[in-house]
Protein backbone atom coordinates (compact mmCIF):
# COMPACT_ATOMS: atom_id res chain seq x y z
CA UNK A 1 0.00 0.00 0.00
CA UNK A 2 2.96 2.28 0.54
CA UNK A 3 4.20 1.89 -2.99
CA UNK A 4 1.53 3.68 -4.88
CA UNK A 5 2.11 7.24 -3.66
CA UNK A 6 5.85 6.97 -4.10
CA UNK A 7 5.52 5.35 -7.50
CA UNK A 8 3.25 8.21 -8.46
CA UNK A 9 5.62 10.82 -7.11
CA UNK A 10 8.50 9.18 -8.87
CA UNK A 11 6.55 9.09 -12.12
CA UNK A 12 5.73 12.76 -11.74
CA UNK A 13 9.33 13.56 -11.00
CA UNK A 14 10.56 11.60 -13.98
CA UNK A 15 8.03 13.28 -16.20
CA UNK A 16 9.13 16.67 -14.91
CA UNK A 17 12.75 15.80 -15.50
CA UNK A 18 11.92 14.62 -18.99
CA UNK A 19 10.11 17.85 -19.73
CA UNK A 20 13.05 19.90 -18.55
CA UNK A 21 15.69 17.83 -20.32
CA UNK A 22 17.08 18.86 -23.68
CA UNK A 23 15.01 17.39 -26.46
CA UNK A 24 17.75 15.10 -27.70
CA UNK A 25 18.80 13.76 -24.31
CA UNK A 26 18.29 10.01 -24.09
CA UNK A 27 15.41 9.02 -21.88
CA UNK A 28 17.51 6.69 -19.73
CA UNK A 29 19.65 9.62 -18.66
CA UNK A 30 16.86 10.65 -16.31
CA UNK A 31 17.47 7.91 -13.75
CA UNK A 32 20.92 9.09 -12.60
CA UNK A 33 19.38 12.56 -12.22
CA UNK A 34 16.92 11.16 -9.70
CA UNK A 35 19.74 9.41 -7.87
CA UNK A 36 21.72 12.64 -7.81
CA UNK A 37 18.66 14.41 -6.44
CA UNK A 38 18.34 11.82 -3.71
CA UNK A 39 21.96 12.24 -2.69
CA UNK A 40 21.65 16.00 -2.63
CA UNK A 41 18.29 15.85 -0.85
CA UNK A 42 19.89 13.64 1.78
CA UNK A 43 22.62 16.22 2.36
CA UNK A 44 19.96 18.91 2.68
CA UNK A 45 18.03 16.65 5.06
CA UNK A 46 21.08 16.39 7.28
CA UNK A 47 21.31 20.18 7.45
CA UNK A 48 17.61 20.29 8.31
CA UNK A 49 18.08 17.55 10.95
CA UNK A 50 15.50 15.29 9.38
CA UNK A 51 17.21 12.14 10.74
CA UNK A 52 16.64 13.47 14.25
CA UNK A 53 13.01 14.11 13.37
CA UNK A 54 12.70 10.53 12.09
CA UNK A 55 14.00 9.27 15.44
CA UNK A 56 11.41 11.44 17.17
CA UNK A 57 8.71 9.91 14.96
CA UNK A 58 9.77 6.42 15.98
CA UNK A 59 9.80 7.49 19.63
CA UNK A 60 6.22 8.72 19.25
CA UNK A 61 5.24 5.47 17.55
CA UNK A 62 6.78 3.59 20.51
CA UNK A 63 4.58 5.48 22.97
CA UNK A 64 1.50 4.73 20.89
CA UNK A 65 2.42 1.06 20.69
CA UNK A 66 2.88 0.92 24.46
CA UNK A 67 -0.50 2.53 24.92
CA UNK A 68 -2.12 0.15 22.43
CA UNK A 69 -0.47 -2.88 24.05
CA UNK A 70 -1.69 -1.81 27.48
CA UNK A 71 -5.21 -1.59 26.16
CA UNK A 72 -5.24 -4.72 24.00
CA UNK A 73 -3.51 -6.99 26.52
CA UNK A 74 -4.59 -5.36 29.76
CA UNK A 75 -1.04 -4.77 30.97
CA UNK A 76 0.58 -2.20 33.20
CA UNK A 77 2.66 0.43 31.43
CA UNK A 78 6.01 -1.01 32.52
CA UNK A 79 5.17 -4.49 31.27
CA UNK A 80 3.78 -3.14 28.00
CA UNK A 81 6.89 -1.01 27.51
CA UNK A 82 9.12 -4.03 28.05
CA UNK A 83 7.25 -6.01 25.41
CA UNK A 84 7.32 -3.17 22.91
CA UNK A 85 11.02 -2.57 23.56
CA UNK A 86 11.92 -6.27 23.36
CA UNK A 87 9.80 -7.28 20.42
CA UNK A 88 8.71 -4.30 18.36
CA UNK A 89 11.38 -1.68 18.64
CA UNK A 90 14.39 -3.60 17.28
CA UNK A 91 12.66 -3.83 13.91
CA UNK A 92 11.66 -0.16 13.97
CA UNK A 93 15.20 0.90 14.85
CA UNK A 94 16.75 -1.37 12.27
CA UNK A 95 14.59 0.18 9.59
CA UNK A 96 15.17 3.79 10.60
CA UNK A 97 17.36 4.46 7.52
CA UNK A 98 14.42 3.35 5.39
CA UNK A 99 12.16 5.89 7.13
CA UNK A 100 14.70 8.65 6.58
CA UNK A 101 14.88 7.72 2.90
CA UNK A 102 11.10 7.87 2.63
CA UNK A 103 10.98 11.28 4.30
CA UNK A 104 13.70 12.58 2.02
CA UNK A 105 12.04 11.27 -1.14
CA UNK A 106 9.41 14.04 -1.44
CA UNK A 107 12.19 16.60 -1.18
CA UNK A 108 14.19 14.81 -3.87
CA UNK A 109 11.31 14.66 -6.31
CA UNK A 110 9.94 18.15 -5.80
CA UNK A 111 13.16 20.05 -6.45
CA UNK A 112 15.82 19.96 -9.11
CA UNK A 113 19.40 19.09 -8.31
CA UNK A 114 20.37 22.75 -8.62
CA UNK A 115 17.48 23.79 -6.35
CA UNK A 116 18.62 21.34 -3.72
CA UNK A 117 22.21 22.52 -3.83
CA UNK A 118 21.10 26.14 -3.53
CA UNK A 119 18.75 25.33 -0.67
CA UNK A 120 21.54 23.56 1.17
CA UNK A 121 23.82 26.53 0.61
CA UNK A 122 21.14 28.85 1.96
CA UNK A 123 20.44 26.76 5.07
CA UNK A 124 24.15 26.32 5.71
CA UNK A 125 24.75 30.09 5.54
CA UNK A 126 24.84 32.09 8.80
CA UNK A 127 21.36 33.45 8.09
CA UNK A 128 20.02 30.00 7.18
CA UNK A 129 21.50 28.49 10.33
CA UNK A 130 20.02 31.25 12.43
CA UNK A 131 16.66 30.65 10.77
CA UNK A 132 16.84 26.95 11.64
CA UNK A 133 17.77 27.78 15.23
CA UNK A 134 15.13 30.44 15.61
CA UNK A 135 12.20 28.80 13.88
CA UNK A 136 11.26 26.28 16.58
CA UNK A 137 11.31 29.04 19.20
CA UNK A 138 9.30 31.36 16.96
CA UNK A 139 6.81 28.58 16.23
CA UNK A 140 6.37 27.80 19.91
CA UNK A 141 5.93 31.46 20.75
CA UNK A 142 3.50 31.85 17.87
CA UNK A 143 1.42 28.88 18.99
CA UNK A 144 1.38 30.15 22.56
CA UNK A 145 0.50 33.66 21.48
CA UNK A 146 -2.26 32.32 19.23
CA UNK A 147 -3.74 30.34 22.10
CA UNK A 148 -3.58 33.25 24.51
CA UNK A 149 -5.05 35.56 21.91
CA UNK A 150 -7.98 33.28 21.14
CA UNK A 151 -8.74 32.79 24.84
CA UNK A 152 -8.64 36.48 25.49
CA UNK A 153 -10.75 37.44 22.49
CA UNK A 154 -13.23 34.69 23.29
CA UNK A 155 -13.57 35.85 26.89
CA UNK A 156 -13.93 39.51 25.90
CA UNK A 157 -16.51 38.59 23.30
CA UNK A 158 -18.53 36.48 25.71
CA UNK A 159 -18.46 39.27 28.30
CA UNK A 160 -19.56 41.81 25.72
CA UNK A 161 -22.45 39.68 24.48
CA UNK A 162 -23.40 38.03 27.77
CA UNK A 163 -26.98 39.28 27.76
CA UNK A 164 -27.61 38.31 24.18
CA UNK A 165 -26.07 34.87 24.70
CA UNK A 166 -28.25 34.28 27.75
CA UNK A 167 -31.27 35.47 25.81
CA UNK A 168 -30.53 32.73 23.29
CA UNK A 169 -30.46 30.15 26.05
CA UNK A 170 -26.72 29.55 26.13
CA UNK A 171 -24.60 28.91 29.17
CA UNK A 172 -20.85 28.81 29.61
Partner 1 sequence: MKYAFRTAAGALLAAGVLSTGTAWGQAAPAPALAPAPAPAATAAPASTATEASRREARALGEKLGWEAQVRGIINSVRTAVIVNLAQANQKTPQDMIGVVDDLLMPDFVGEAGSLTETIIETWAGAFTADELRNLRSFYNTPLGDKLLRTIPQLNVQINKAGQVWTQRVYQATQQKHADEFTRRGLKFAQ
Residues 7-46 close enough to bind partner 1 by CB under 8 A: 9, 45
Question: What counts of helices (H) and strands (E) characterise the chain?
Answer: 9, 0
CB of 28 or CB of 74, closer to partner 1: 74
Closest alpha carbon to 2 in 102, 90, 95: 102
Query: How long a stretch of residues is the chain?
Result: 172
Binding mask 115-154 for partner 1 (x = CB under 8 A): x--xx--x----x--xxx-xx-xxx-xxxxxxxxxxxxxx
Residue 61 found at the interface with partner 1 (CB under 8 A) = yes
Least distance (Å) between residue 100 CB and partner 1: 10
Residue 83 found at the interface with partner 1 (CB under 8 A) = yes
Residue 172 found at the interface with partner 1 (CB under 8 A) = yes
Query: Which one of residues 10, 43, 102, 113 is an interface residue with partner 1 (CB under 8 A)?
Result: 102
The secondary structure of 34-75 as a DSSP string is: HHHHHHHHHHHHHHTTHHHHHHHHHHHHHHHHHHHHHHHHT-
Amino acid sequence: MARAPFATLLAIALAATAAAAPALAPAFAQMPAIEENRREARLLADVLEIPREAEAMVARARLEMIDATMKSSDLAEEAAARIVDDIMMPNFRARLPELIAQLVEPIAVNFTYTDLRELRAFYASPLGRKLLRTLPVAQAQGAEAGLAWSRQVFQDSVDRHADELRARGLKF
